[in-house]
Structure 1
C-alpha cells in the first residue's frame, strides 16, 4: 500500500510561487524616463504561465500594469526609441510588425515563409538596422518540400539533429531580414509602408567550414555588416545539447549583406527565399563564443564588438572570458576579462555569467564606458561593471557589515547613466531597483517595485533566517543555511541537505519559492556549494573533473557533519533532496552513508552514468568523470565499468532510506530510464520507494501543475517519515 498520501494544497506555496518574477526590462523612452519591465507570473488555478508588463515613469507617477498578449512572442525597441518591432502569432498565423508610436508602419504575414519564431536565449535575434528600415530575426526554416513521394521521399525523413533539452523542435534556426523601406529614406516615423516596398529574405551564409553552421543571435553593426553566433555540428553529425552548456562548438561570425541590386532581382520579395551573403568566422575554433554586443558612440557609429567565451569541451560550465574587438580599425581581439584560476575569499573570482550579456549592457560614468552584468561571486550573484577599454572590474553591490546579502540580476541599461536590476534574498522576494550615477560618479539605488505579500506570508518569512557557513578543511566548500529564527525546546528541526545540480552551478542567496515554502514547513535547509561550484575560481571547477561521486559527495557529507557539530542540526534528523546532479549526489549519499539520512527525494537523477541512452549531452558522462570524448568515442566495457563504479547504482544494495522519485517523461537531458531503473532496483530489493512521472515535462519539471504536485509530494513524503521518527 502506498505511503504517499496527499495532504492538500499549501496556501503559502501557492502565494509564493505566484509572485511576479522580473525577467526583462527596456528603457522605451530614456530621455523621458520611461521604463518597461516584464514579469513572469504563474497561475496555479488555471495551470498557466503569463507575462505581465509594468511601465514606470521615472519622473513621477504611478506605474501602469498590463497583461502582455500571448500572441506577442518577442518585441524590441529601436535605437531611436521611435519604433517597436513585434513578432506575433495569432490564429495559427505569424506576423512581423513595425510600429511607429501608435501607428502600424509595416506588417507582413510570414506564415508560409518559415516555421515558428525562435525566442530562446541561444538562437533568437531581434535587431533594427541603424536606419530603422530593416529588422533581423530568427525563425525555424521550413523543412524540404517533397512534391511527389514516389519520386524521392528521403528529404522528408532524413535525420536532422536538434538543439536538445527544451529545444527539440528547433533544428534549422535561420536569420531572416525584413525590410520595409530603402535605407535612404529618412528614419522619422512615416505613414504605412507600401506593399511593394516590403521584402523578406533568409540569410544563407557561405559555408567555409567542413561541418554545417547554424546561425542566431544576429545584430546589426551597419546597414550591411552583421555579427552573429554560429553553432556547429560536431564531426559525427550531432548538435550537442546547449542548455546550461556554454562549452559547445560555436563562434562569432561577421556576415555581409548582398547589395540592394542583388536583392531586387528576387522573383518574390516576400517569400523568405534564401540569399547568399559572405561570412567570416572571427573567433578561434577552440573557443566557444556567443552573445555579440555592439557598442556605438554618440553619433551611432559602431566602435567595439564584445562577446563571451568559454573553452570548447571539458567542464560544462566554467569561468567566462570577455572579449572585445575595435571595429574602427578591425584590430586584433582583446581579452578584456581573463580567466581567474585562483582567488582569495574576498577577491574577484572571475566571471560566471548567464548564457548572455544583458541585451542593453552599456553604461557611462566617471568618464568611462562600462559593460554592466551580473556574475556569481561565491554564494551570491552580484553586479559588476567592466571598463570596455582597460577591462578593469568594479564590484558595485558588495555586501558591507549588516547589509542584506542580495543576489542581483542586471536587466537593462539606458546606454548612459542608469540601469535597472532585480534583487532578492532567501526571505525577500524579487524587487526591481533602479541604479543611477550622479555627477560625482556615485551609484545610487532606488526601489521601484516589490511584490505584495499577505500578512501571513510576511510573518512566515520574517520567522526565517539565513547564513552562509564555511566548512573547515574543505575549502572552498560552503553552505547556505535557511532555518527558523526561534526553535522550540526539544529536538532540533529536521535538516534537509539540498545540493544543486550541474555539477557546475551554484546555490545562491536568491529567492526560491519552492525551497522557502519547504523551510516554512519547519525544516532547516542546507544548500551546499561543493567543489566544482561556480563563483569560487577556475581551480575549483577543474578540481572536480574526474572526481564526481567522491569529492562532491565528500564535501556534502562534510556539510552534514559540520552543521551537526556546530549545533545547527542533529544526528538522526537528516533528509536529503536533489535533482539532476543533485539527485546523483542524493543517491550517492544514501548509498554510501545509509545510516545518516532518514528520507530522500530525487528528481530526474543521474543514477547510472554508463547508461547514456537518449541524453542530449552524452559528452557530459565522459568529460565530468575525467574521460576523453571525441566524435568517434565509443562506450567500451572498461569505460562502462569506471562510470558504473562512480554512479549511485553501484551502492544500491546498501540503501535503507525511503526514496521518492519524480521523473519528467520528456526529459532529454537525463533519460527517464535512469530514474525508472533506480525505482525498480530499489523495489526489487524490498526497499521503500515511490515514483511520480509527469507527462510532457522535461528536465526541470517546471510546469505549473507539475511543479506544484511535485512540491506537495515532497512535503507529504517527508512528513510521513518525520511523523515516524
Structure 2
C-alpha cells in the first residue's frame, strides 16, 4: 500500500551547429527505486563507481525532498554536495536546554523535533561532501548552531558552498508549503568559516549561481503571515558584495502584466550569458514561463513550467485543461488535472475561463486551496481571493476574512455559473443537484458552504478539513497560521487568550454544524500533522448526534495529502459513489 518511486531517463541531444535541431531519445524503461543508501556515479552510460553511504556511517538518511535536499557537483566534477540527517550525537535535543555530558548515556525517549507535515523524518540536517575519487564522505563543520542547512550549491572556485539556513530556535514550525519561515543565505568554506550573506529577518530560498560564478540570485519574502506569498528576487554580486532587487513584489498586477513570483526557481535557471534568469510563475489562473520579463501566451498554449535550462536549451512542461502534459506536474493551475480528467470520463463537464474571468474583474481570486464544485455535468474550480497569481494585496486580503470572503467568493461563482447557463438556455446544469468537495482549507470552505447554505448543496466530500480553528491551535505544525488567518499577530511566545480563541471559533464551520443538511463524507489521515484527524472527528460526532448522514474514512498510515496510491484510489471511488448515491444518479 505504500507509495512506490520510479525513475525514468530522457535524453535530449542538441546539434549546436543548428540550434533548432533537437533530438529527443526514447525514454528508458521505468525502474523501481529502493531505499538503499548509496551513490552510483555514471559516465558515458557506464557505471563508474558506487559509494556505500551506510558503510561509511557518517550520517543518517540522505534528504531527497525539495525543501532541504540538493545534489550538486563541484565545478571540477570530483565532489558531490548533498544534505542528510545528522547523527543525533552531534547535536543537542531541542526539548532540553543542554546535551548530556560526554560519556553520559542518552535517553532514547527524549523528544526530537522535526520539521512538520511532510518532513517528519527531518530534524537535524547536515551538509555533506562525497569525494568520488577518494571514496570518502565529509560532514561540513561551521554551520551556525541555530539554523538547519539545506538547498546547498557550490561556489565557482569549489572551495566553499552556499546554503539556506532556517532558524530552528526557539522551536521548529512546519516548512512544507510555507515560504514564510525565518531563514538566510550563508557561505561556508571547507575550513569551517561561515558568513551570512543576506539579511537575517526575512525568508530566503532557491539560491542559484550564474554560469560565470559572479552573481547569486535567490527569493526573499516576509516572515509569518500568509504561507504562500508574493516573493522578490534578490541578486548578490560576489565581487562587489552588494545586494540589489532584480524582481520586486507585485502588489496589484494590471491585466496581462507580470503578476509576481510565487514558486521556487528551477535548479537551472540562468541563460549562458549570465545576464538573464528564466523562471515560471503564476499569473491569474495560469502558470507561465518568464524570460527577460516577457510573458508567453498561456491562454493560447496552456500552462508552461520551466523544468531546466542548459546551454540556452529550455525544457518546458506544458499542459492544458483538455491536454495531458508531456512531463511531471504537481499543484493545480489551469492545466491538466487527473482528477478532473477522470470526472469528465464519468460524464462531468469542466467549465473554466469565461465565468472565472467575469468573476475576477477587479476582484482577484485565489489558489491557496482549491474547492471543486461538482454539478451533474460540471466540475467548477474556483480561485477565491487570497492566493497566488494575483498580487500580494490579494493574498493579504484573506487574513482575518476566512469563513466569509472566501465562502462568498465560491458561492458567487456557483450562482454566476448557474445564472449564465440559464441565460444561455443551457440545460446541462441542474441547480437542484449541486455538491461540493475540498481538502484542507478547501475542506474548511466546503463545510462552511453546506452550513451557511444548507438547502443549496446536496452532498459534501472533504479531505482533512479544518473544522474548529480554536481546538486546532495546539495540534497543528503551523500554529502561526492559526493566528494570522483570523487577523491576529503571532510570536513564538504566544499564549492563547479567551478573545483569540473566541475569534477562531466564530470563524470556524463547526459553528454552523446544527444547520448542516447535506450528507457529509469525511476522509482523514491518521498521521496528519497539519490538520489533526480529530478536526474531522469533531464534525463527525456533531453530525452523528443530530442524526445527520455522515460517513468517515480513516487512513491510519496517511498524512495530510492522503498521497498513498491505494488511498487516492479509495478516496476518489468513494467520493464518486457518495455523490451518485445522494444525487440519485445510479
Alignment of 1:438-453 (within 5 A): none
Q: Secondary structure at the match of 1:630?
A: coil
The corresponding residue for 2:333 is: none
Q: Residue 630 in 1 paired to residue 491 in 2?
A: yes
Q: Deviations over 1:95-136 (max 9, x none)?
A: 233333345544332212221110100111211111222111
Within 1, Cα distance between the matches of 2:519 and 2:348? Answer: 32
Q: Is the 8 A contact 1:423 1:430 kept in 2?
A: yes
Q: Give structure 1 stretches of 5+ with no counterpart.
A: 1-43, 73-88, 181-192, 259-276, 387-392, 434-449, 480-498, 508-514
Q: Residue 50 in 1 paired to residue 6 in 2?
A: yes
The corresponding residue for 1:608 is: 468
The structural deviation recorded for 1:681 is 0.8
The corresponding residue for 2:96 is: none
Q: Is the 8 A contact 2:287 2:298 kept in 1?
A: no
Counterparts in 2 of 1:139 and 1:638: CA distance versus 1, 3 Å: same
Within 2, Cα distance between the matches of 1:530 and 1:163? Answer: 29
The structural deviation recorded for 1:175 is 0.7
Alignment of 1:540-689 (within 5 A): 540-567=394-421, 569-611=429-471, 612-689=473-550
The corresponding residue for 2:243 is: 333
Q: Secondary structure at the match of 1:362?
A: coil
Q: Deviations over 1:648-706 (max 9, x none)?
A: 00111111111111001111110110011111111111111111111211111121110
Alignment of 1:262-301 (within 5 A): 277-297=192-212
Q: Is the 8 A contact 1:471 1:562 kept in 2?
A: no
Equivalent pairs, count: 551
Within 1, Cα distance between the matches of 2:44 and 2:399? Answer: 53
Counterparts in 2 of 1:119 and 1:713: CA distance versus 1, 3 Å: same
Q: Is the 8 A contact 1:476 1:531 kept in 2?
A: no
Greater displacement, 655-664 / 47-56:
47-56
Q: Is the 8 A contact 1:577 1:583 kept in 2?
A: yes
The structural deviation recorded for 1:286 is 2.1
The corresponding residue for 1:218 is: 152
* TM-score, normalised with respect to structure 2: 0.87
Alignment of 1:413-428 (within 5 A): 413-414=309-310, 416-428=311-323
Counterparts in 2 of 1:179 and 1:473: CA distance versus 1, 3 Å: closer
Counterparts in 2 of 1:347 and 1:357: CA distance versus 1, 3 Å: same
Q: Deviations over 1:317-368 (max 9, x none)?
A: 11011111112332x1111000111122222221122xx211111225xx88
Counterparts in 2 of 1:47 and 1:548: CA distance versus 1, 3 Å: closer
Q: Secondary structure at the match of 2:414?
A: helix
Within 2, Cα distance between the matches of 1:425 and 1:363? Answer: 27
Q: 1:63 aligns with which of 20, 25, 43?
A: 25
Q: 2:183 aligns with which of 250, 254, 272?
A: 250
Q: Is the 8 A contact 2:58 2:139 kept in 1?
A: no
Counterparts in 2 of 1:463 and 1:581: CA distance versus 1, 3 Å: closer
Q: Secondary structure at the match of 1:705?
A: helix
Q: Secondary structure at the match of 1:363?
A: coil
Counterparts in 2 of 1:106 and 1:463: CA distance versus 1, 3 Å: same
Within 1, Cα distance between the matches of 2:122 and 2:505? Answer: 33
Q: Deviations over 1:467-525 (max 9, x none)?
A: 3424767755578xxxxxxxxxxxxxxxxxxx96x35xx78xxxxxxx8xx97x95301
Within 1, Cα distance between the matches of 2:102 and 2:230? Answer: 53
The corresponding residue for 2:259 is: 349
Greater Rg over alpha carbons, structure? 1
The corresponding residue for 1:101 is: 44
The corresponding residue for 1:232 is: 167
Counterparts in 2 of 1:476 and 1:585: CA distance versus 1, 3 Å: farther
Within 2, Cα distance between the matches of 1:150 and 1:344? Answer: 62
The corresponding residue for 1:369 is: 275
* TM-score, normalised with respect to structure 1: 0.71
The structural deviation recorded for 1:244 is 0.8
Within 2, Cα distance between the matches of 1:157 and 1:212? Answer: 23
Q: Give structure 2 stretches of 5+ with no counterpart.
A: 15-20, 93-99, 329-335, 423-428
Q: Is the 8 A contact 2:180 2:222 kept in 1?
A: yes
> Cα RMSD over matched residues?
3.1
Within 2, Cα distance between the matches of 1:379 and 1:57? Answer: 33
Within 1, Cα distance between the matches of 2:30 and 2:81? Answer: 22
Q: Deviations over 1:448-476 (max 9, x none)?
A: xx99xxxx999989986643424767755
Q: 2:124 aligns with which of 147, 163, 172?
A: 172
Of structures 1 and 2, the one scoring higher in RCO (CA 8 A, sep 6+) is 1
The structural deviation recorded for 1:602 is 0.8
Counterparts in 2 of 1:326 and 1:150: CA distance versus 1, 3 Å: closer
The structural deviation recorded for 1:68 is 4.6
Within 2, Cα distance between the matches of 1:465 and 1:233? Answer: 44
Q: Secondary structure at the match of 1:223?
A: coil
Within 2, Cα distance between the matches of 1:677 and 1:429? Answer: 39
Q: Secondary structure at the match of 2:577?
A: helix
Counterparts in 2 of 1:468 and 1:53: CA distance versus 1, 3 Å: farther
Q: Is the 8 A contact 2:114 2:123 kept in 1?
A: yes
Q: Is the 8 A contact 1:117 1:138 kept in 2?
A: yes
Counterparts in 2 of 1:547 and 1:691: CA distance versus 1, 3 Å: same
Q: Is the 8 A contact 1:56 1:64 kept in 2?
A: no
